[in-house]
Structure 1
Amino acid sequence: MASRAFLMSCLRAEGFSRDLSPRPRYPSMPRYPKGAAAVSAIGCGNDVEAPPEDRRTAMFSVIGMTCSACAGSVEKAIKRLPGIQNAAVDVLNNRAQVIFYPNFVSEDEIRETIEDVGFEAALIEEDSKEASTLTCRLHIKGMTCTTCSNTVESALQSVLGVRKAIVALATEEAEIRYDPKLVSADQLMKQVDETGFEAILITTGVDRNKIQLKIEGVRTERSMRIVESSLQALPGIEEVDIDPILYKVSVSYKPDQTGPRNFIEVIQSTGSGRFLATIYPQGGGRESHKREEIKQYYQSFLWSLLFTIPVFLTSMVFMYIPGVNHALDTKVVNMLTIGELLRWILSTPVQFIIGRRFYIGSYKALRHGSANMDVLIALGTNTAYFYSLYSVLRAATSPNFESTDFFETSSMLISFILLGKYLEILAKGKTSEAIAKLIDLAPETAILLTHDESGNLLGESEIDSRLIQKNDVIKVVPGAKVACDGFVIWGQSHVNESMITGEARPVAKRKGDSVIGGTVNENGVLHVRATHVGSESALSQIVRLVESAQMAKAPVQKSADRISKYFVPLVITLSLLTWLVWFLSGKYNGYPKSWIPSSMDSFQLALQFGISVMVIACPCALGLATPTAVMVGTGVGASQGVLIKGGKALESAHKVNCIVFDKTGTLTTGKPVVISTRLLKNIALHEFYECVAAAEATTYNIQYLDAS
């Protein structure tokens, strides 16, 4: 099959069609379109725009692509055909969009060309509804358990125009596919806010390049509006969004017409040198929120511990110390002791100030007819606290009532839960480290070459790699990473593309060959012209693929979500039943009186069992185990060069009993490694290693000189 595809591609390159009959390399003269369409179609005069009716857009399904290198080969093959204005291949959705002139090339010929490259292709007759949908992503703050995520997901799916909504608790993100004609991203965020959570927009789903700039030197809102007007006057600008509080400008643009360096120049020229524009720090919004949330939980736990430890000591430890015990048992009013009064005072701020987040979460959940983990915590701790409060007040007003309090139960429960929340949010933060490692594969800086109109080199400068624009010429020195996707216009070298292809052996590159951003230049200097920057780059597509995989729900996770929906009401019911059974058993002598501690009665013992059932049952473990495992699995796989398409693939992996690799070098690093040494002559080991190092350094220099 591969040899047949190779043969057909060679025949097509020589001008033969699929039926092996010769075809002309260029269309006959009568088939040329007239006027501007003819000028644009044959690639001359790009300033002249062809009439839209002369062009056609077709969408093809391409099956078999596994990486951006496959997409690049398909795109290159399509663009070689005559009459192709543009071609874009989406490896994530296995699709190719082609803009072409039907007078020069047909849809069948495009499909045959894709098949000749070695992939299955079919023309897609897109449904108008599906073609008009967008996919946006939101960051949702305040979710604590699976019930919260299910509530948000149900609220989003009830919105008119939403085709599908997925809310992931582990990543605290929502992915919504919606019809922009019926609903907007702002309305989706408002819907999330109405459920009691805060939504932050990550992407709107519109296929566009976007960059955020920080402006310094702007002092008034009028100056910000002047900057906005100056940016909107540039060609290729689609949208400008200004945040006057953070002095941040978000610009959506067409990379074929403009770029971030143009924005910085316009902003600085607008202020006559008073304004300074720089790229906004990466990950500002979500990362700062995550750090702040970790800090809040840590501080809350420390404050809770500060009050809880004395409560624990006075109720569990000091009672066995003779002198201290007598002081704590001293009566204040009637039967109210100093120890009970201290525990009441110390546990109150833990219950109502430090633990107020659980009251807020409970209110939000109950307001929308659902019950989450906060409801369980609030019920359990309030039951223990208010029963203890009743006991204390009864002791203070009655001369014969011996009280028993559970203040240590409520305060210690809140402290332990805050500790668990702190550890949980730390774990969730670490699961996204794989995404950060993928992003770090791209170099931070690049060497930009400037040329005059004749093509002569004027100079070079080091810039931020995010400032690279289309058609820029980038210099890549030996040992450096390629800063963007493009093709070589000068020089020759070997590039390590193992991060994309899995092949450990470096690939030779010379003039005309394509290179991928993030790959490593082994030797030789290359001049690369940028073709894909920003979100269009192969590395950005890999990051999006991993993010989509982490959002996808495994089949077992869907089952867990269904169970957790009824989990909290079931736990409350079981807790009440537990209390009732133990209380009735104690009242009717269902168990020996010796089971009841001396400081309790049957009612208090039953109450303690009921509280234990209510608080110890947590749906978080049920709802977080699977998504966290999926996040860790896909993230670690991506950092090792293995891309996994979601939890369904991971869940099915246990059925695999045979793996076939189609490339040599995939399982090896491509570099020899010394695993053991053996000395056949008496010599000091450190002297032997010095000789080996000297010989290796000399050999490397000789090889380098030979290669040059």
Structure 2
Amino acid sequence: MEGADKPETSTAVEENKQQVEMTDATAVDKDNMQGIVHTTSPPEEIKIKVHGMTCENCTGSIEANLAKVKGVDKVFVSLPKEMAAIHFYPEEVSPLELREAIDDMGYEAELQGRDTCLGREEDVRHTRMEAEATELECLLSDIDELVSSKQDEGTSEDTKGASDPTSIEMVRFSSRNGTKEEQASLRVTGQTKYQALSSRSVEEKCVLRVTGMTCASCVATIEKTLLKHRGISAALVALMAQKAEVTYDPDVVTPEEIREMIDDMGFDAEVLEEKNQGGIETLKLTISGMHCASCVKNIESLVMRIKGVTHASVALATCRGEFKYKSDDAGPRAIIKAIEEAGFECKLATDESHASTALQQLKTVKKWRGSFLVSLIFGLPVMATMIFFMIKENHKYNIILLPGLSLENLIYFVLSSIVQFVGGRYFYVQAYRALRHKTANMDVLIVMATLIAYLYSVVVVAWAMIKKDEGSPVTFFETPPMLLMFINLGRWLESIAKMKTSDALSKLMSLQPSEANLVTVGEDMEVTSERSISVELVERGDILKVVPGGKIPVDGKVIDGLSAADESLITGESMPVYKKPGSIMIGGSINQTGTILMEATHVGADTTLAQIVKLVEDAQTSKAPIQQIADKIAGVFVPGILVLSTLTLAIWIAIGMTHPELIPTYVSTPFAANHTMELTIEFSFQVAISVLAIACPCALGLATPTAVMVGTGMGARSGILIKGGEPLELARRLKTIIFDKTGTITYGVPRVMRTKVLVPTTEISEEEFLAIVGTAEASSEHPLGAAVTRHAKEMLESEVVGKCSNFSAEPGYGLQCTVTKINAMLNAGMNEQNAKISSDVIIAPTEVTDPEEITKEEDSSIYEVLIGNREWMKKNNLEVTDEADHTMAQYEALGQTAVLVAINGVVAGMITIADAVKEEAKLAVKVLKDMGLDVVLLTGDNKKTADAIAKQVGITKVFAQVLPRNKVEKVEELQQLGHKVAMVGDGVNDSPALVKADVGIAIGTGTDVAMEAGDIVLIKNNLLDVATAIDLSKRTVRRIHINFFFAIIYNALGIPIAAGVLSPVGIFLRPWMASAAMAMSSVSVVLSSLFLKFYKKPTYTAKKVEERDNMLESV
């Protein structure tokens, strides 16, 4: 980028620069005589201390960028030593320039042992600066003359303002005191100053996708380097979202140039969006009142009609909508107005709106429950009355109260009216709103079927009473109560199911602490004032104080103090991460040991936790293809049934007028016995209403919910919680199972795996060794220390420990203390301790050569104890033998943590600790593979540990050191291959991947957020239940398909029969018969679903799996 930024210079200045360069004899004609220079002067080596590197990506970035610097021969960067060794040609590049090059990458560089060579370079640099200053003087003089001439000619006020002598003097002053990069920038300013005199730029923003970042150091590198470039006033990089938002001056720099700057840093960048006037804006709304796919389709269609709206996506399950629009053509109010006029309620989606959404869903459940109870209370008597008069066909039971009005019709009228206008009132409201906007949904179909049947019945009875007929006509009063009763039941069940799927985001956001301690500090980092503020008021750059046990309020970096933090929120690992000044802190993680002061770097929506929330929310809002297909079907279903019913009415009226003999005469009544036209109209309305009644999708609506209810009930009894029909349907089609490691494949709690005594038992017994380390670690807050103490107590069957004094711990190394009075711990379980020790953990004594004497007295034994890693031993001048080092390396290769124990100046033993693999993990992997599934391990842990765990359980495909954002990307990669993917996890960091996967399977002992984000929850924390869930899915989906078969056959046969196709052979349906058929279809679906009650959970044992494999091999 330096070459791109250098302006062309005048000939005079070039000559001056050439003369300056000639002062260094080795720098003559560098471009043409490079080979000669390199031959006569071999490359030199310099070492530069580099601070701020955190990973191998940092070292690779530094090496790649330094290799591009002219004059650099070789670069070697060591992460552990924080050192860069550079071979360079001093004729072409100076150590100072190399140091500045590293600084420009966002790291802190410090020259090592090269002070003597800097004087000459500084002389050359100052000489060059003088030449450049001469050039600037010439350019500024030209500007003065041009501005003066323009003023004389009567230029604008803007031009006069631009010629302020003060500003020119400021430039002259800067030209003599700036750095080399600043000089180059000033040359550009000088040459283009006049051209921009009459313009004033307005800052704009651009958003870029940045890939290749692996840690917070990468973020700091990009932000720091961008801010050094002229024209860039702000840069904010989000690691989780892999995006950068840059505020820039469009007159100085363009988004494409910013992209090139990031590329030059070693990252891949792509311009996503330029935020200026007229850009694309996004609006997120919470929408209530939706209950079916037709509602979703109607809202999306209405909003898309608004000029300027480019995208509309509504999620029925989460009651949310996302809309994109051009700010020049549309606005939020227009979109909200269109949705509200369609009959729905909506408001801006905020963090607080999640609570109101839950409250609204609860109100919806109560609403449909009330409607169902009204329909049930008054609908059952209607059914009882209908059955009674069907059985008692003798006319003596058909009591005529008034001419044309029978007791039967009067009972029907009273009960049906209550159900029609009380139990069905919500359908009327929604249907009216839909029709007002020229759309049709299920509510329209329901209202038309019930209202036509009701009004027709009222009209024919009133007409019979007016004519004072002797009998009472046949009516369809029984149709509305029966229809509304079943439909209200379905809506009630649906609203309950939907309410259970909306808690994940609110629980995720509850991890964010509500308050932060804002402090001011003096020069020596002493706190001078402190106050508590809302975390929403925290600004970038604020100094915050976090006490032990407190949550980190926002993302930031430590500026003072030492501590350890539980970052399982992000990494999924329970091991604490040690923090020192300069360390990155993650908002929502827990500070464990010491008080720290931190500087806020990312606040509000830019924090890591907020990014995870956004990932979960976006994944929930996105639509599966099958849902889009369902929306299209819903858009044509209702109009199709209405058209079919109308055609049925018209066709039968035409048939009755042309061929009245085809109208079944035995359905006539005294009311229409002698009137062919009245008979035709009666029969035509009968079949038309029957079509509407029988086409109500009760069976289709109950096919999935009833099977899901029974299936999930059986799953709960088996320790599996399945959330709805979609995961049940998808689980049977899975091709790949992704397992998280910590807490999923493993227990998630560190356990002692091995204890090895490295001195003869005559010096220290195995029991004493356990008592000493158990007592020492009892004062430690480290999870590994707690595991050692817990193990020692279990092995020695003791609830007490000895006395620990002079305890101190050094983060990253280990602890030291004095242990006394261990006899109480040794005597607690003396009778059975030997058996206990040998049965649980391998303790292998190893002879060593001439160990130093370990002091041991009966009553007052004193042990000076050191426990920690190799460096801790070396730091305390203790030798780690090759044998001990080799043994540690063997256990570390298995993914275990090995620590050494020194007692009284002798390395006396070793303890290995690991997160143990679950007992059933290997069998579960074997069972899943036998089911034809690919099994993958995906973890944020290091590759060595991940490979070791995978090898133990039989997994061959491993992705290690994966951040939550990358976990989602890995899931997407597998999905793009056409695989249906299940993610099995337990932590908050797994929740985005759980949501993004086709089926998210959460461990019941994991976090509440993971369980809410998962589609399936394993309550008993047994990995074999993953296979059981898939088996249950297959059984349930098979039952759902049977239910749909019944429903489709019922509609396919029922609608033509209801339309009177078989009436010539004497087979036709009255409306009440159509309602009864609809009820029977629903009953058949429910009974079919109840067969799932006979489901039995499969039993998996290693022996059974082996026998099955042998049987398959023999076949």
TM-score by length of 1: 0.66
* 1:311 to 1:38, Cα distance in 2 relative to 1, 3 A: farther
Is the counterpart of residue 95 in structure 1 residue 243 in structure 2?
A: yes
Partner of 2:289: 142
Deviations 1:658-694 (A, max 9, x none): 8698x9998545414799xxxxxxxxxxxx9996499
- Assess if the C-alpha contact under 8 Å between 2:286 and 2:353 holds in 1: no
* 1:107 to 1:340, Cα distance in 2 relative to 1, 3 A: closer
CA distance in 1, matches of 2:59, 2:792: 54
Look up the equivalent residue of 1:525 and give its one-letter code. T
Aligned-pair distance for 1:372? 0.7
CA distance in 2, matches of 1:557, 1:113: 43
CA distance in 2, matches of 1:623, 1:319: 33
Aligned-pair distance for 1:109? 6.9
Q: 1:431 aligns with which of 488, 491, 501?
A: 501
Is the counterpart of residue 616 in structure 1 residue 724 in structure 2?
A: no
Look up the equivalent residue of 2:809 and give its one-letter code. A
CA distance in 1, matches of 2:243, 2:478: 61
CA distance in 2, matches of 1:442, 1:697: 37
- Assess if the C-alpha contact under 8 Å between 2:793 and 2:799 holds in 1: no
Is the counterpart of residue 61 in structure 1 residue 142 in structure 2?
A: no
Look up the equivalent residue of 2:321 and give its one-letter code. A
Is the counterpart of residue 78 in structure 1 residue 225 in structure 2?
A: no
Is the counterpart of residue 201 in structure 1 residue 348 in structure 2?
A: yes
* 1:497 to 1:19, Cα distance in 2 relative to 1, 3 A: farther
CA distance in 1, matches of 2:368, 2:281: 36
Q: 1:301 aligns with which of 340, 349, 372?
A: 372
- Assess if the C-alpha contact under 8 Å between 2:222 and 2:262 holds in 1: no
Please give the secondary structure, in 1, of the residue aligned with 2:313.
Answer: strand
* Aligned counterparts, 1:453-472, within 5 A: 455-458=525-528, 464-472=534-542
Partner of 2:588: 518
Partner of 2:261: 110
Aligned-pair distance for 1:321? 11
* 1:591 to 1:499, Cα distance in 2 relative to 1, 3 A: farther
Higher alpha-carbon Rg: 2
Look up the equivalent residue of 2:222 and give its one-letter code. I
CA distance in 1, matches of 2:551, 2:276: 42
Aligned-pair distance for 1:537? 1.8
Look up the equivalent residue of 1:564 and give its one-letter code. A
Deviations 1:274-328 (A, max 9, x none): xxxxxxx664643443343333333333334343344344434698799xx9998
Aligned-pair distance for 1:26? 4.3
Is the counterpart of residue 566 in structure 1 residue 627 in structure 2?
A: no
* 1:3 to 1:474, Cα distance in 2 relative to 1, 3 A: closer
* Aligned counterparts, 1:35-50, within 5 A: 35=170
Partner of 1:684: none
* Aligned counterparts, 1:654-669, within 5 A: 657=736, 667-668=745-746
Q: CA RMSD in A?
A: 5.4
Aligned-pair distance for 1:375? 1.0
Partner of 2:445: 376
CA distance in 2, matches of 1:56, 1:396: 78
Please give the secondary structure, in 2, of the residue aligned with 1:371.
Answer: coil
Look up the equivalent residue of 1:352 and give its one-letter code. F
| Worse overlay, 397-406 or 543-552 | 397-406
Please give the secondary structure, in 2, of the residue aligned with 1:165.
Answer: strand
Is the counterpart of residue 411 in structure 1 residue 481 in structure 2?
A: yes
CA distance in 1, matches of 2:604, 2:530: 21
* 1:525 to 1:548, Cα distance in 2 relative to 1, 3 A: same
Please give the secondary structure, in 1, of the residue aligned with 2:512.
Answer: coil
* 1:538 to 1:131, Cα distance in 2 relative to 1, 3 A: farther
CA distance in 1, matches of 2:578, 2:598: 14
Please give the secondary structure, in 1, of the residue aligned with 2:749.
Answer: coil
Look up the equivalent residue of 1:437 and give its one-letter code. K
Partner of 1:9: 61
Please give the secondary structure, in 2, of the residue aligned with 1:96.
Answer: strand
Is the counterpart of residue 346 in structure 1 residue 494 in structure 2?
A: no
- Assess if the C-alpha contact under 8 Å between 1:328 and 1:337 holds in 2: no
Partner of 2:454: 385
Partner of 2:299: 152
* 1:437 to 1:557, Cα distance in 2 relative to 1, 3 A: same
- Assess if the C-alpha contact under 8 Å between 1:479 and 1:520 holds in 2: yes
Look up the equivalent residue of 1:188 and give its one-letter code. I
Deviations 1:540-562 (A, max 9, x none): 22212222222222223222222
Q: Point out where structure 1 has 5 or more consecutive residues left out of the alignment.
A: 43-49, 204-210, 212-280, 595-599, 633-646, 676-687
Look up the equivalent residue of 1:8 and give its one-letter code. G
CA distance in 2, matches of 1:24, 1:618: 76
Deviations 1:458-477 (A, max 9, x none): 56565554454444444434
Partner of 2:308: 161
* Aligned counterparts, 1:470-485, within 5 A: 470-485=540-555
Is the counterpart of residue 442 in structure 1 residue 442 in structure 2?
A: no
Please give the secondary structure, in 2, of the residue aligned with 1:566.
Answer: helix
Is the counterpart of residue 286 in structure 1 residue 350 in structure 2?
A: no
Please give the secondary structure, in 1, of the residue aligned with 2:599.
Answer: strand
- Assess if the C-alpha contact under 8 Å between 1:489 and 1:512 holds in 2: yes
Aligned-pair distance for 1:592? 14
Aligned-pair distance for 1:417? 2.0
Aligned-pair distance for 1:189? 1.7
Of the two structures, which has the highest relative contact order with CA contacts closer than 8 Å and spacing of 6 or more? 1
Aligned-pair distance for 1:134? 1.0
CA distance in 1, matches of 2:497, 2:423: 22
Q: 1:671 aligns with which of 701, 724, 749?
A: 749
- Assess if the C-alpha contact under 8 Å between 1:474 and 1:530 holds in 2: yes
- Assess if the C-alpha contact under 8 Å between 2:285 and 2:321 holds in 1: yes
* 1:652 to 1:165, Cα distance in 2 relative to 1, 3 A: farther
Q: Point out where structure 2 has 5 or more consecutive residues left out of the alignment.
A: 1-53, 73-87, 102-124, 137-166, 180-188, 190-198, 668-678, 713-725, 754-789, 811-1115
Deviations 1:432-471 (A, max 9, x none): 1111221122234445556578753356565554454444
- Assess if the C-alpha contact under 8 Å between 1:146 and 1:619 holds in 2: no
CA distance in 1, matches of 2:798, 2:590: 22
Aligned-pair distance for 1:161? 1.8
Partner of 2:603: 533
* 1:287 to 1:665, Cα distance in 2 relative to 1, 3 A: closer
CA distance in 1, matches of 2:802, 2:326: 60
Look up the equivalent residue of 2:412 and give its one-letter code. R
Aligned-pair distance for 1:405? 4.0
Please give the secondary structure, in 2, of the residue aligned with 1:671.
Answer: strand
- Assess if the C-alpha contact under 8 Å between 1:308 and 1:412 holds in 2: yes
Aligned-pair distance for 1:83? 0.8
Look up the equivalent residue of 1:170 and give its one-letter code. A
Total equivalences in the alignment: 574
* 1:669 to 1:478, Cα distance in 2 relative to 1, 3 A: farther
CA distance in 2, matches of 1:703, 1:304: 75
CA distance in 2, matches of 1:394, 1:701: 101
* 1:700 to 1:152, Cα distance in 2 relative to 1, 3 A: farther
Partner of 1:172: 319
* Aligned counterparts, 1:482-501, within 5 A: 482-501=552-571
* 1:18 to 1:405, Cα distance in 2 relative to 1, 3 A: farther
Q: 1:506 aligns with which of 576, 580, 586?
A: 576
- Assess if the C-alpha contact under 8 Å between 1:139 and 1:201 holds in 2: yes
Deviations 1:608-667 (A, max 9, x none): 742433323689799999xx9xxx9xxxxxxxxxxxxxx9xx989967548698x99985
- Assess if the C-alpha contact under 8 Å between 1:11 and 1:17 holds in 2: no
CA distance in 1, matches of 2:704, 2:280: 29
Please give the secondary structure, in 2, of the residue aligned with 1:523.
Answer: coil
Please give the secondary structure, in 2, of the residue aligned with 1:159.
Answer: coil
- Assess if the C-alpha contact under 8 Å between 1:496 and 1:520 holds in 2: yes
* 1:665 to 1:62, Cα distance in 2 relative to 1, 3 A: farther
Partner of 2:430: 361
